[in-house]
C-alpha cells in the first residue's frame, strides 16, 4: 500500500474538509472484464458505501456498518488500510478463517484486483470499501469494534515538505485507538527508517498504546517490501497494543 487520548475522542474531524490528504488519486482505468467482475461484487465483497461529495469520500450522515450482516456472521474484525491488490490481505485472510477483514482502498483497480483474487481463491472473509480510510474509520466503523488495524507500507512522503501528508500522525493515532477494542493491536510496516522512527514516536508516545516486540507475524512479503529490500532499505514491523 502507498497512501497517505487516555480518554480517546471519537469525534475526530473528518479529513474530507482538509486540503492535505495522505494519498494521491490515480487514474481509475481498468479492463472491461475486471470492471465487470468488480461491479458484480458491489453489495457482496465490495461494500456499498454512501458516497460524499468526492468519489472516495463517505456521506456525512453515513451510519456505522453492520459488520455481522456484511460478513454474514459474528467474528473478530480486522481493518487493513490501503490493501492494494491484496498482496498481504488475501493470504492473511485465508490463513485466518476465524477473522473478518475489512479493507479500505481508494485506488479502484487495486480494489478490483483484490476482489478478483479473493473470488479466484475462494476467500470469503474479506470485504473492501473503496473510500478514504480516515473517513471510513470515522463514519463506518463503530468505536471499540476492531481486533486489529493493519497499516502496511503507507506512502512515506520522504521529502520534508511533504511530511504533513503522512497518514500516521497524532490525530490518526487518536482515531485508530478509538476504534480498537482494549487489547486490540495496531500493526504497521514501512521500509523508510525515518518514517519508522516517526511511527515509534507518534504511536509509542500515545497514552492509548503500549509497544510490543517488533514482529512481522505471518505478513507475507509484498511488492513494496521487495522494492525496499532491493534498494537496501530495512523493513520495520511495529506492533502496538491498545491499553485501557
Spell out the domain ranges in the chain. 15-242
Which residues in 13-44 are b (16+ Cβ under 10 Å) and which e? ebbbeeeebbbeeeebebeeebeebbeebeee
Task: Read off the pLDDT band of 19 (50, 70, 90).
Answer: very low
Q: How far is 237 from 219, CA to CA, in rounded Å?
A: 9
Ramachandran region, residue 71 (left: φ > 0; alpha: ψ -120 to 50; beta: rest): alpha
Contacts of 101 (CB under 8 A, 6+ apart): 77, 78, 79, 80, 89, 92, 93, 125, 126, 127
Task: Read off the pLDDT band of 134 (50, 70, 90).
Answer: very high
> Catalytic pick from 48, 66, 155, 232?
155
Predicted TM-score (pTM) of this structure: 0.85
Contacts of 75 (CB under 8 A, 6+ apart): 98, 99, 100, 125
- Residue 10: CA atoms inside 13 Å, Cβ hemisphere, count? 12
Model confidence over 186-204: pLDDT tens digits?
A: 999 999 999 999 999 999 9
- Binding-site entries for S-adenosyl-L-methionine: 80, 105, 132, 155
Homologous superfamily, domain 15-242: Vaccinia Virus protein VP39 (3.40.50.150)
Is 155 labeled as catalytic in the residue annotation? yes
- Binding-site entries: 80, 105, 132, 155, 159, 191, 222-225
- Binding-site entries for substrate: 159, 191, 222-225
Which grid cell sits at 172? 490518526
pLDDT at res. 28: 58
Amino acid at each position: 500500500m502507498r497512501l497517505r487520548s487516555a480518554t480517546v475522542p471519537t469525534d475526530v474531524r473528518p479529513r474530507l474538509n482538509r486540503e492535505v490528504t495522505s494519498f494521491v488519486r490515480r487514474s481509475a482505468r481498468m479492463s472491461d472484464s475486471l470492471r465487470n467482475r468488480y461491479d458484480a461484487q458491489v453489495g457482496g465483497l465490495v461494500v456499498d458505501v454512501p458516497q460524499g461529495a468526492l468519489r472516495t469520500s463517505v456521506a456525512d450522515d453515513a451510519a456505522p456498518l453492520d459488520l455481522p450482516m456484511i460478513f454474514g456472521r459474528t467474528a473478530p474484525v480486522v481493518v487493513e488500510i490501503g490493501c492494494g491488490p491484496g498482496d498481504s490481505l488475501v493470504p492473511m485472510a485465508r490463513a485466518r478463517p476465524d477473522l473478518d477483514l475489512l479493507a479500505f482502498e481508494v485506488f479502484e483497480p487495486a480494489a478490483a484486483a483484490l476482489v478478483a483474487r479473493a473470488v479466484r481463491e475462494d476467500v470469503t472473509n474479506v470485504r473492501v470499501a473503496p473510500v478514504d480510510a480516515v473517513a471510513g474509520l470515522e463514519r463506518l466503523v463503530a468505536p471499540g469494534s476492531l481486533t486489529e488495524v493493519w497499516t502496511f507500507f503507507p506512502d512515506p512522503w520522504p521529502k520534508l515538505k511533504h511530511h504533513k501528508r503522512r497518514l500516521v500522525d497524532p490525530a490518526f493515532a487518536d482515531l485508530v485507538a478509538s476504534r480498537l477494542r482494549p487489547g486490540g493491536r495496531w500493526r504497521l510496516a514501512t521500509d523508510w527508517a525515518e518514517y519508522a522512527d516517526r511511527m515509534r514516536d507518534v504511536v509509542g508516545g500515545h497514552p492509548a498504546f503500549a509497544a510490543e516486540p517488533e514482529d512481522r507475524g505471518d505478513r507475507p512479503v509484498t511488492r513494496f517490501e521487495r522494492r525496499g529490500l532491493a534498494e537496501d532499505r530495512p523493513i520495520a514491523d511495529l506492533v502496538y497494543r491498545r491499553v485501557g
